[in-house]
Structure 1
Amino acid sequence: MTFLDIFQYGFLLRALAAGSLIAALCAVLGVFLVLRRLSLIGDGLAHVTFGSVALALFLRFQSVYATVAAIPAVLLAALGILRLAERARIYGDAAIGIVSSLGVATGILLASMAGGFNVDLFSYLFGNILSISPFELGQTAVLFVIVCLTVLLCYHDLFAIAFDEELARTSGIRVDRINAVLVLLTALTVVLAMKVVGIMLISALLILPAVTSLQIARGFRTAILLAVLLGVLSVVAGIVISFLANLPAGATIILVNFTLFLVSFGLRKLRK
């Protein structure tokens, strides 16, 4: 099989399209999350997604609609993390840990009640990008448009909060509202990204392209654009390599991401 033969398969084209859109979303949001030191929120929300999907499958939802059923719970969990950090005076990482452990415990309990882990639940845990349906591709495209428009409209506020939250607050920026928008968009992205790399690896898709671009970019907008480019490149390369070498797609995508990080780290050292 040659490289061009890949484009004859409809499921691969859907995987490439959905994976590229989700990688772009994760890269854009990841830059803001890394600078806000909220990068692990993706991991926490992924665990909540696990519990939500387990509940949807326990209630006999069809697999293709499990992501839709998980969205409300993950959105509430994202807001819950913010409220715990603000009202209960808990540090952000501790709030993420509380919500994350609750999501995992719920998922394990429901899986046990349902008679154990089934194939559908494992596909969400470890990713199955080649099984993305046209419906899920449509979901991803809609979310991509929503996130891009929101970031464009709130760009200056997001930029200010990313570097100095207190200064942004004293400048009249509605910090609480912008924080809520950021975590809600992240929650939606996490729900869709679980089919790309799996619940266990979502945080890497949020963190690695952002951290890689911040190693070598000389400006904030350049960092965002470079993160998008690296994220999309890693997904496309990961899917192609995994298909040709018969490897797990999600894990391959993350390893390509890590390789790009090592290259950028080496370039930064050489530049110094």
Structure 2
Amino acid sequence: MMDKLILYFQYPFVRYALIVGVLIALCSSLLGVTLVLKRFSFIGDGLSHVAFGAMAVATVLNITNNMLFILPVTIVCAILLLRTGQNTKIKGDAAIAMISVGALAIGYLLMNIFSTGPNLSGDVCSTLFGSTSILTLTKAQVILCCILSVLVVTLFVIFYHKIFSVTFDETFAKATGIKTDAYNLLIAVITAIIIVLAMNLVGSLLISALVIFPALSAMRIFKTFFCVTICSVVLSVICAVIGILSSILAGTPVGSTIVAIDIVAFLISSFIGKVSGGNAQ
């Protein structure tokens, strides 16, 4: 097996896949803790459906670098989702359901009407559940992913204390003069960037798992926000590396394999939490 891995590492596409996989896992786990604690877990699911709809439009328009189209559309929808969720007439969960289902339906409708390939069901399945696209990344795509990942990590580090305050007690944070609306908007924008990055790795429907599972696993063991965040990052990166290598060796879908490894990590973390009595509330 080691000889086989060494042989695969000689190919650039394998190295590119690992680099992008690690970066996406790192970024998604950073914000996962905040989204879980703020009860925003399904915002990732909603935005992933929006990204699917945007990808369908980009395909119909024959846009070569579709990420340059999908990213701004998803960010705009994240802002609209945040604003709509604050509307007293439309609650947050209803807004997420409305936007996500609408975008998913429109995306699939467009792909049916303006089908550009002979295998429509295969294209849709690959977009929703991930495919081998992570193994066909170009150098330009890897560079773009690196730039966006550095942006996400930088923003999180710079505004860590503000995000921490908004996450745990938004009312108190607002009373102390923190512009909570601005930081909620920042969280939504960063989430949108992560969703677009993760589409190539796990597909639209599995993105939420990449965001939620590492955070929940870390919460089973640690109690403090900082320790949970660090543990979440470590677990997410390890699971991504194991998942990508396992999929290459076994020939299984990359996204599904990573999520399966995340589930195993969650079960192990839950067991460790029960044994040590360190369950986080």
Could you state the TM-score of these two structures normalised by the residue count of structure 1?
0.95
**Do residues 180 (structure 1) and 185 (structure 2) align?**
yes
1:60 equivalent in structure 2: 62
SS at 1:192 equivalent: helix
- For the residues of structure 1 that align with 2:42 and 2:171, how far apart are their CA atoms? 22
Gaps of 5+ in 1: none
Q: Percent of aligned pairs with the same residue?
A: 37
Q: Deviations over 1:229-258 (max 9, x none)?
A: 111111100011111111111100000001
Deviation at 1:119, TM superposition (A): 5.4
- For the residues of structure 2 that align with 1:131 and 1:201, how far apart are their CA atoms? 19
- For the residues of structure 1 that align with 2:250 and 2:7, how far apart are their CA atoms? 14
2:243 equivalent in structure 1: 238
Which residues of 2 match residues 93-104 of structure 1 at below 5 A?
93-104=93-104
1:219 equivalent in structure 2: 224
Aligned equivalent of 2:53, options 41, 45, 51: 51
Which residues of 2 match residues 1-272 of structure 1 at below 5 A?
1-62=3-64, 65-115=65-115, 117=120, 121-127=124-130, 128-272=133-277
- For the residues of structure 2 that align with 1:196 and 1:12, how far apart are their CA atoms? 13
Deviation at 1:122, TM superposition (A): 4.2
Gaps of 5+ in 2: none
Could you state the TM-score of these two structures normalised by the residue count of structure 2?
0.92
Deviating more after overlay: 11-20 vs 209-218: 209-218
SS at 1:90 equivalent: coil
- For the residues of structure 2 that align with 1:254 and 1:132, how far apart are their CA atoms? 20
Deviating more after overlay: 69-78 vs 173-182: 69-78
Query: In the alignment, residue 84 of structure 1 is paired with which amino acid?
Result: T
Do the aligned residues in 2 keep the contact of 1:48 with 1:99 (CA within 8 Å)? Answer: yes
Do the aligned residues in 2 keep the contact of 1:51 with 1:106 (CA within 8 Å)? Answer: yes
Q: Deviations over 1:71-111 (max 9, x none)?
A: 12111110111111113443222111111011112101211
Query: In the alignment, residue 111 of structure 1 is paired with which amino acid?
Result: M
- For the residues of structure 1 that align with 2:8 and 2:77, how far apart are their CA atoms? 39
Deviating more after overlay: 66-75 vs 249-258: 66-75
What is the alpha-carbon root mean square deviation over aligned residues? 1.4
Dislocated runs of 4+, deviation >3 Å: 118-123
Q: Deviations over 1:60-79 (max 9, x none)?
A: 112xx112211121111101
- For the residues of structure 2 that align with 1:191 and 1:124, how far apart are their CA atoms? 12
Q: Deviations over 1:142-193 (max 9, x none)?
A: 1111111111221111001111111111111101000000010100110110
Deviation at 1:132, TM superposition (A): 2.0
- For the residues of structure 1 that align with 2:154 and 2:76, how far apart are their CA atoms? 22
Deviation at 1:196, TM superposition (A): 0.5
Do the aligned residues in 2 keep the contact of 1:79 with 1:180 (CA within 8 Å)? Answer: yes
- For the residues of structure 2 that align with 1:129 and 1:107, how far apart are their CA atoms? 21
- For the residues of structure 1 that align with 2:75 and 2:109, how far apart are their CA atoms? 21
- For the residues of structure 2 that align with 1:197 and 1:46, how far apart are their CA atoms? 11
Query: In the alignment, residue 271 of structure 1 is paired with which amino acid?
Result: S
Deviation at 1:125, TM superposition (A): 2.1
Do the aligned residues in 2 keep the contact of 1:50 with 1:104 (CA within 8 Å)? Answer: yes
- For the residues of structure 2 that align with 1:177 and 1:109, how far apart are their CA atoms? 35
- For the residues of structure 1 that align with 2:7 and 2:214, how far apart are their CA atoms? 28
- For the residues of structure 2 that align with 1:221 and 1:14, how far apart are their CA atoms? 30
